[in-house]
Chain A
């Protein structure tokens, strides 16, 4: 089964050349240091230290030529410059908000960014405290007692929530209920996460963009381990039936898992108040922009499930001087101790993003957070009504309240409309042949008038 790629040119032995030509610029030893080390080890060349049998040695070359830092940057600028410079009115689970400069300044401090998981807490108090504060912020925002210090993204956090539900539910069950508006990608990940179990993912109908409690009631059964709903939904709708979802979930013994984000949670109904058992979502709405999907999976839950929580937890303790100090705790849940019986396989997480989220949230403070959330409600409502004034456009599609985004029905091929908007420098979602979705936040608010004008022209 040999798939050796034969590349042109002879193999090069690179040791001894130092960084001068072809060596790694990030390998610290100079040629003379290398020579001294070889002597200390008792070999003439480093090749002697490799115990690789002939049959599997690679003597080819990779088709990658090294380059100077300047050249790499220039090349990447050119490559990435091929991306169209559009003003994005895109959301559907990934949102842009202005990220203040302090977030970069502080998170990029090398003691933070070049550090590792805090397995030696005595030298990692800085990051541990920052993560403890992040966890605390999620506890405040969700009203639930426990939050972990990160998962990968909203979709994988939802997957983990389903697995937790199956573990903790005292009665056996096999269905995970999700609303029919859930993003296909999110559902796909969820299905992969439960694919190693007996669980199956089932849709329940929604009405007017929100949970239809009657339909949910009839879809629910004793067999359900979890019910998932979003607030705001991926279509930007503020969910008005959360209490009912909580009641129904409790009635059928299913866990109520709510999808949201820290900005929304600053204003909308508290998950604890509506009976949510678990909250998941993407917390990187604060701290990072859309970043082509680089995220931060938020995970918080009721204290009752503490020992089943996936991911790392930072706890408070004392050091030998009696001072309050922080440490990773309850590690017996995790893979490095519990192996195949761990609550999750997660190891590397999104900790550095969580640091950024915490810094961003702290820089906003409660009034900044609430104020930003209020804007997230007012902006789409205003722009939707402006869209509605345009002949051939009807917005918003869903009755009710909106957060960051809204859907609009158009009497034109929606893809063609989107193409015209693209030509004018705007990106919107195409949802259907006759429906688009538009996301408005503080990040693109300054261009909404231009967008409305562009839509009007395109519809005329």
Chain B
């Protein structure tokens, strides 16, 4: 099955994607990840202002049959979280790279250590 792996994003092995948007980074989970999980029913995100550490779990995404930790690809501070997900968790399934984004962070990290689209495609 061909999973969507858009260009212009970087990817973590733990199936998160990260996108630089002006002064901040936007993070979500990949098409592969949402497919693995199945219908997502709940997303537990950190509070705005919370600091997060690279590769540490910062939240949880739940489907009916599974629970998956969310890992942040960079260290930084949470600026905003996707409010729509509390009432529309299905956005993560429907638009994992679009309206199903999870959090936006500020960070001093660079993204060099992360996978590019080719690297991630090879992994899945």
Where the two chains meet, the residues of A that have a C-beta atom closer than 8 Å to any C-beta of B are 307, 331-332, 337-338, 341
Contacts and interface: CB of A to CB of B under 8 A. Distances in A.
Contacts of B41: 332
17 contacts: A307-B42, A307-B44, A331-B64, A331-B65, A332-B41, A332-B42, A332-B62, A332-B63, A332-B64, A332-B65, A332-B66, A332-B67, A337-B65, A337-B66, A337-B67, A338-B67, A341-B67
Interface in B39-67: 41-42, 44, 62-67
The 9 tightest CB contacts between A and B, nearest first, are A332-B62, A332-B67, A338-B67, A337-B67, A337-B66, A337-B65, A307-B42, A332-B66, A331-B64
B104 to A, nearest CB: 23
Interface of B: 41-42, 44, 62-67
A331 B63 CA distance: 10
A338 B65 CA distance: 10
Contacts of A337: 65-67
A343 to B, nearest CB: 11
A338 B42 CA distance: 14
SS of B interface (majority): strand
A411 B38 CA distance: 71
Contacts of B64: 331-332
Given A332-B62, A332-B63, A332-B64, 7 more contacts: A307-B42, A307-B44, A332-B41, A332-B65, A332-B66, A337-B65, A337-B67
A337 B66 CA distance: 6
Please indicate which of the listed interface residues A331, A332, A341 has the most CB atoms of chain B within 10 Å of its own CB.
A332
A334 to B, nearest CB: 10
Contacts of B67: 332, 337-338, 341
Nearest to A342: B67
B15 to A, nearest CB: 18
A337 B44 CA distance: 17
A341 B66 CA distance: 12
A341 B65 CA distance: 15
A337 B64 CA distance: 10
Nearest to A329: B64
A307 B67 CA distance: 12
Contacts of A307: 42, 44
Contacts of A331: 64-65
B6 to A, nearest CB: 29
Contacts of A341: 67
A332 B62 CA distance: 7
Contacts of A332: 41-42, 62-67
B45 to A, nearest CB: 13
A278 to B, nearest CB: 21
A150 B119 CA distance: 49
Contacts of B63: 332
A256 to B, nearest CB: 24
A338 B62 CA distance: 10
A341 B62 CA distance: 13
A385 B57 CA distance: 63
A307 B42 CA distance: 9
Contacts of A338: 67
Nearest to A341: B67
A331 B62 CA distance: 10
A335 to B, nearest CB: 12
A332 B66 CA distance: 6
B42 to A, nearest CB: 7
B103 to A, nearest CB: 19
A307 B62 CA distance: 11
A338 B63 CA distance: 12
A332 B68 CA distance: 10
A341 B69 CA distance: 11
Contacts of B42: 307, 332
B100 to A, nearest CB: 19
A61 B41 CA distance: 53
Nearest to A339: B67
A332 B64 CA distance: 7
